[in-house]
Amino acid sequence: MANTFALILVVLTFVTGIIWVIDKLTWGPARKVARQVAQDQAEVGLDEKTLAQIHPENVVIENARSLFPVIAVVFVLRSFLYEPFQIPSGSMMPTLLIGDFILVEKFSYGVKEPVWQNTLIPMGSPERGDVAVFKYPEDQRVDFIKRVVGLPGDRVVYKDKQLYLVPACEEAQCGNYKALDMQFLGDQKFKDEESTMQLYSEILGSVAHQIIVNPNRRDHVAYYYQQDDVKTVAYEWVVPEGNYFVMGDNRDNSKDSRYWGFVPEQNLVGKAIATWISFEFYRDANDLLPTWVPSAVRFDRIGSIK
Protein backbone atom coordinates (compact mmCIF):
# COMPACT_ATOMS: atom_id res chain seq x y z
CA MET A 1 0.00 0.00 0.00
CA ALA A 2 2.77 2.45 0.97
CA ASN A 3 4.77 1.83 -2.22
CA THR A 4 1.59 1.97 -4.30
CA PHE A 5 0.72 5.43 -2.99
CA ALA A 6 4.27 6.63 -3.60
CA LEU A 7 4.12 5.34 -7.18
CA ILE A 8 0.74 7.02 -7.77
CA LEU A 9 2.10 10.30 -6.42
CA VAL A 10 5.17 10.08 -8.69
CA VAL A 11 3.01 9.39 -11.76
CA LEU A 12 0.58 12.23 -10.94
CA THR A 13 3.44 14.66 -10.38
CA PHE A 14 5.12 13.63 -13.65
CA VAL A 15 1.95 13.73 -15.78
CA THR A 16 0.60 17.02 -14.43
CA GLY A 17 4.11 18.51 -14.61
CA ILE A 18 4.48 17.58 -18.29
CA ILE A 19 1.07 19.08 -19.07
CA TRP A 20 1.93 22.22 -17.08
CA VAL A 21 5.22 22.70 -18.98
CA ILE A 22 3.66 22.11 -22.43
CA ASP A 23 0.84 24.51 -21.56
CA LYS A 24 3.34 27.15 -20.47
CA LEU A 25 5.45 26.78 -23.63
CA THR A 26 2.90 25.93 -26.33
CA TRP A 27 -0.81 25.74 -25.57
CA GLY A 28 -0.99 28.83 -23.34
CA PRO A 29 0.77 31.16 -25.82
CA ALA A 30 -1.41 29.79 -28.66
CA ARG A 31 -4.57 30.62 -26.70
CA LYS A 32 -3.26 34.08 -25.95
CA VAL A 33 -2.45 34.78 -29.63
CA ALA A 34 -5.83 33.51 -30.84
CA ARG A 35 -7.69 35.69 -28.36
CA GLN A 36 -5.57 38.72 -29.17
CA VAL A 37 -6.30 38.26 -32.87
CA ALA A 38 -10.03 38.03 -32.13
CA GLN A 39 -9.83 41.16 -29.98
CA ASP A 40 -8.03 43.08 -32.71
CA GLN A 41 -10.57 42.06 -35.35
CA ALA A 42 -13.62 42.85 -33.23
CA GLU A 43 -15.33 46.20 -33.71
CA VAL A 44 -16.05 46.39 -29.98
CA GLY A 45 -14.10 45.24 -26.95
CA LEU A 46 -14.68 41.61 -25.99
CA ASP A 47 -15.28 40.71 -22.37
CA GLU A 48 -13.40 37.89 -20.57
CA LYS A 49 -16.29 35.44 -20.90
CA THR A 50 -16.40 35.88 -24.67
CA LEU A 51 -12.62 35.62 -24.98
CA ALA A 52 -12.62 32.39 -22.96
CA GLN A 53 -14.84 30.81 -25.63
CA ILE A 54 -12.21 31.52 -28.28
CA HIS A 55 -9.67 28.69 -28.42
CA PRO A 56 -11.16 27.23 -25.18
CA GLU A 57 -8.92 25.48 -22.69
CA ASN A 58 -9.34 21.71 -22.43
CA VAL A 59 -10.77 20.67 -19.03
CA VAL A 60 -7.96 18.12 -18.51
CA ILE A 61 -5.31 20.76 -19.19
CA GLU A 62 -7.05 23.23 -16.90
CA ASN A 63 -7.23 20.76 -13.99
CA ALA A 64 -3.67 19.51 -14.49
CA ARG A 65 -2.34 23.07 -14.61
CA SER A 66 -4.16 23.92 -11.38
CA LEU A 67 -3.22 20.72 -9.53
CA PHE A 68 0.46 20.50 -10.47
CA PRO A 69 1.82 23.08 -7.96
CA VAL A 70 -0.12 21.44 -5.11
CA ILE A 71 0.86 17.89 -6.07
CA ALA A 72 4.51 18.95 -6.57
CA VAL A 73 4.68 20.45 -3.06
CA VAL A 74 3.11 17.31 -1.53
CA PHE A 75 5.49 15.11 -3.52
CA VAL A 76 8.62 16.95 -2.34
CA LEU A 77 7.48 17.13 1.29
CA ARG A 78 6.34 13.50 1.53
CA SER A 79 9.13 11.94 -0.49
CA PHE A 80 12.20 13.81 0.75
CA LEU A 81 11.44 15.82 3.89
CA TYR A 82 8.64 14.76 6.24
CA GLU A 83 5.81 12.24 6.11
CA PRO A 84 2.94 11.66 8.56
CA PHE A 85 2.21 8.16 9.85
CA GLN A 86 -0.51 6.73 12.09
CA ILE A 87 0.33 4.22 14.83
CA PRO A 88 -1.93 1.20 14.23
CA SER A 89 -0.81 -1.13 17.04
CA GLY A 90 0.46 -1.17 20.62
CA SER A 91 3.90 -2.65 19.89
CA MET A 92 5.68 0.62 20.80
CA MET A 93 3.80 1.31 24.03
CA PRO A 94 4.34 3.30 26.19
CA THR A 95 6.38 5.48 23.80
CA LEU A 96 3.69 5.44 21.10
CA LEU A 97 0.03 4.60 21.50
CA ILE A 98 -2.69 3.54 19.09
CA GLY A 99 -4.16 6.79 17.76
CA ASP A 100 -0.86 8.71 17.75
CA PHE A 101 -0.09 10.50 14.50
CA ILE A 102 3.64 10.95 14.12
CA LEU A 103 5.96 12.92 11.88
CA VAL A 104 8.85 11.04 10.25
CA GLU A 105 11.97 12.84 9.05
CA LYS A 106 12.67 11.21 5.69
CA PHE A 107 16.21 12.52 5.15
CA SER A 108 17.65 11.38 8.51
CA TYR A 109 19.05 8.20 6.96
CA GLY A 110 19.72 9.61 3.49
CA VAL A 111 17.70 11.18 0.69
CA LYS A 112 16.02 8.31 -1.17
CA GLU A 113 13.92 8.06 -4.28
CA PRO A 114 10.33 7.40 -3.18
CA VAL A 115 9.42 4.15 -4.96
CA TRP A 116 12.33 1.69 -4.63
CA GLN A 117 14.05 3.51 -1.73
CA ASN A 118 17.46 3.68 -3.40
CA THR A 119 19.71 6.22 -1.67
CA LEU A 120 20.39 9.32 -3.75
CA ILE A 121 22.29 11.40 -1.17
CA PRO A 122 23.79 9.75 1.95
CA MET A 123 22.95 11.84 5.02
CA GLY A 124 23.39 9.69 8.12
CA SER A 125 22.79 6.32 9.75
CA PRO A 126 20.52 5.11 12.56
CA GLU A 127 21.82 5.34 16.11
CA ARG A 128 20.99 3.09 19.03
CA GLY A 129 17.75 4.26 20.54
CA ASP A 130 16.31 5.83 17.38
CA VAL A 131 12.61 5.20 16.73
CA ALA A 132 12.69 4.29 13.05
CA VAL A 133 10.10 3.63 10.35
CA PHE A 134 11.04 1.00 7.75
CA LYS A 135 9.61 -1.30 5.12
CA TYR A 136 8.76 -4.64 6.73
CA PRO A 137 11.33 -7.06 5.23
CA GLU A 138 8.75 -9.83 4.76
CA ASP A 139 6.23 -7.54 3.01
CA GLN A 140 7.63 -4.25 1.78
CA ARG A 141 4.16 -2.86 1.10
CA VAL A 142 3.83 -2.48 4.89
CA ASP A 143 5.52 0.17 7.05
CA PHE A 144 6.74 -0.85 10.52
CA ILE A 145 7.97 1.31 13.39
CA LYS A 146 10.38 0.00 16.06
CA ARG A 147 13.34 1.13 18.14
CA VAL A 148 16.86 0.54 16.81
CA VAL A 149 18.68 -1.74 19.26
CA GLY A 150 21.59 -3.27 17.34
CA LEU A 151 23.89 -1.63 14.78
CA PRO A 152 25.98 -3.50 12.17
CA GLY A 153 28.47 -5.78 13.92
CA ASP A 154 26.72 -5.70 17.32
CA ARG A 155 25.94 -8.84 19.29
CA VAL A 156 22.48 -8.75 20.82
CA VAL A 157 21.05 -11.05 23.49
CA TYR A 158 17.50 -11.01 24.84
CA LYS A 159 17.07 -13.44 27.71
CA ASP A 160 14.63 -13.54 30.61
CA LYS A 161 13.22 -10.16 29.55
CA GLN A 162 16.63 -8.51 29.85
CA LEU A 163 18.47 -6.97 26.89
CA TYR A 164 22.24 -7.44 26.64
CA LEU A 165 24.54 -5.86 24.11
CA VAL A 166 28.14 -6.04 22.91
CA PRO A 167 28.83 -3.16 20.51
CA ALA A 168 30.67 -3.88 17.27
CA CYS A 169 34.39 -4.38 17.93
CA GLU A 170 37.51 -6.06 16.71
CA GLU A 171 37.55 -9.75 17.69
CA ALA A 172 40.57 -9.34 19.98
CA GLN A 173 39.07 -6.31 21.72
CA CYS A 174 35.50 -7.49 22.29
CA GLY A 175 34.20 -7.22 25.81
CA ASN A 176 31.61 -9.22 27.68
CA TYR A 177 27.90 -8.81 27.30
CA LYS A 178 26.56 -5.91 29.30
CA ALA A 179 22.97 -5.66 30.45
CA LEU A 180 21.30 -2.41 29.57
CA ASP A 181 20.57 -0.15 32.52
CA MET A 182 16.96 -0.73 33.60
CA GLN A 183 15.06 0.85 36.47
CA PHE A 184 11.72 -0.53 37.65
CA LEU A 185 9.11 2.22 37.73
CA GLY A 186 6.18 0.18 39.01
CA ASP A 187 3.19 -1.84 37.87
CA GLN A 188 0.78 -0.15 35.52
CA LYS A 189 -2.43 -1.05 33.71
CA PHE A 190 -2.55 -0.05 30.04
CA LYS A 191 -5.78 0.28 28.08
CA ASP A 192 -4.76 -1.98 25.20
CA GLU A 193 -3.22 -4.72 27.35
CA GLU A 194 -5.11 -7.56 29.01
CA SER A 195 -3.06 -7.69 32.21
CA THR A 196 -1.09 -5.37 34.45
CA MET A 197 2.34 -4.57 32.99
CA GLN A 198 5.68 -3.71 34.56
CA LEU A 199 7.02 -0.30 33.54
CA TYR A 200 10.79 0.21 33.27
CA SER A 201 13.14 3.01 32.31
CA GLU A 202 15.86 1.76 29.95
CA ILE A 203 18.99 3.46 28.61
CA LEU A 204 19.92 2.45 25.07
CA GLY A 205 22.98 4.27 23.77
CA SER A 206 22.40 7.88 24.79
CA VAL A 207 18.60 7.54 24.78
CA ALA A 208 16.61 7.04 27.97
CA HIS A 209 13.14 5.70 27.25
CA GLN A 210 10.43 3.59 28.83
CA ILE A 211 9.50 0.00 28.06
CA ILE A 212 6.77 -2.32 29.34
CA VAL A 213 7.10 -6.01 30.17
CA ASN A 214 4.43 -8.61 30.84
CA PRO A 215 5.75 -10.67 33.80
CA ASN A 216 3.19 -13.39 33.15
CA ARG A 217 4.16 -14.05 29.54
CA ARG A 218 7.11 -16.32 28.72
CA ASP A 219 9.61 -15.43 26.03
CA HIS A 220 8.75 -17.32 22.84
CA VAL A 221 12.33 -18.47 22.25
CA ALA A 222 11.19 -21.34 20.02
CA TYR A 223 9.91 -18.78 17.49
CA TYR A 224 13.02 -16.60 17.50
CA TYR A 225 14.83 -15.97 14.24
CA GLN A 226 17.90 -18.17 13.82
CA GLN A 227 20.95 -17.12 11.80
CA ASP A 228 22.33 -19.79 9.48
CA ASP A 229 25.74 -18.24 8.96
CA VAL A 230 26.61 -17.41 12.57
CA LYS A 231 27.02 -19.81 15.48
CA THR A 232 24.84 -18.41 18.27
CA VAL A 233 22.39 -19.60 20.89
CA ALA A 234 18.66 -19.26 20.30
CA TYR A 235 18.35 -15.86 21.97
CA GLU A 236 21.51 -14.30 20.50
CA TRP A 237 22.02 -12.47 17.20
CA VAL A 238 24.98 -10.90 15.37
CA VAL A 239 23.87 -7.95 13.25
CA PRO A 240 25.24 -8.24 9.67
CA GLU A 241 26.82 -5.30 7.87
CA GLY A 242 24.25 -3.03 6.29
CA ASN A 243 21.51 -4.26 8.64
CA TYR A 244 19.89 -3.27 11.95
CA PHE A 245 18.25 -5.10 14.85
CA VAL A 246 15.00 -3.50 16.04
CA MET A 247 12.58 -4.14 18.90
CA GLY A 248 9.29 -2.74 20.13
CA ASP A 249 9.14 -0.98 23.50
CA ASN A 250 6.21 -3.25 24.37
CA ARG A 251 8.60 -6.17 24.70
CA ASP A 252 6.06 -8.99 25.03
CA ASN A 253 3.69 -7.72 22.36
CA SER A 254 5.91 -6.82 19.43
CA LYS A 255 6.64 -8.60 16.18
CA ASP A 256 10.23 -7.49 15.67
CA SER A 257 13.78 -8.62 14.81
CA ARG A 258 13.62 -11.38 17.41
CA TYR A 259 11.11 -13.18 15.20
CA TRP A 260 11.85 -12.18 11.57
CA GLY A 261 15.44 -11.01 11.50
CA PHE A 262 17.18 -7.81 10.50
CA VAL A 263 16.22 -4.58 8.73
CA PRO A 264 18.33 -3.92 5.61
CA GLU A 265 19.57 -0.35 5.30
CA GLN A 266 17.64 0.03 2.03
CA ASN A 267 14.36 -0.58 3.90
CA LEU A 268 14.79 2.41 6.20
CA VAL A 269 12.19 5.13 5.61
CA GLY A 270 13.12 7.70 8.25
CA LYS A 271 13.32 8.68 11.91
CA ALA A 272 10.19 9.36 13.97
CA ILE A 273 10.73 12.75 15.56
CA ALA A 274 7.39 13.98 16.93
CA THR A 275 3.77 13.22 17.66
CA TRP A 276 1.77 16.00 16.00
CA ILE A 277 -1.68 14.86 17.11
CA SER A 278 -3.11 11.99 19.16
CA PHE A 279 -6.68 10.72 19.27
CA GLU A 280 -8.44 8.59 21.85
CA PHE A 281 -10.77 5.96 20.37
CA TYR A 282 -12.20 4.58 23.61
CA ARG A 283 -15.86 3.52 23.54
CA ASP A 284 -18.00 2.54 26.51
CA ALA A 285 -20.76 -0.05 26.36
CA ASN A 286 -23.50 2.53 25.66
CA ASP A 287 -21.65 4.44 22.93
CA LEU A 288 -23.08 3.71 19.50
CA LEU A 289 -20.54 5.71 17.48
CA PRO A 290 -18.23 3.76 15.12
CA THR A 291 -14.94 2.72 16.74
CA TRP A 292 -12.94 4.68 14.15
CA VAL A 293 -14.45 8.02 15.21
CA PRO A 294 -12.13 9.79 17.72
CA SER A 295 -13.68 10.46 21.11
CA ALA A 296 -11.03 12.89 22.39
CA VAL A 297 -7.72 14.57 21.58
CA ARG A 298 -4.78 13.64 23.84
CA PHE A 299 -3.03 17.01 23.91
CA ASP A 300 -0.52 15.81 26.51
CA ARG A 301 1.00 13.41 23.96
CA ILE A 302 1.86 16.09 21.40
CA GLY A 303 5.60 16.70 21.21
CA SER A 304 8.96 15.08 20.49
CA ILE A 305 9.53 11.32 20.59
CA LYS A 306 12.21 9.77 22.81
Active-site residue, from 79, 91, 108, 254: 91
Q: What CA–CA distance (Å, rounded) separates 179 from 158?
A: 9
Reply yes or no on whether 146 is catalytic.
Answer: yes
Catalytic residue among 112, 146, 257, 278: 146
Mark whether 91 is an active-site residue: yes
What number of residues does the chain have? 306
Enumerate the active-site residues: 91, 146
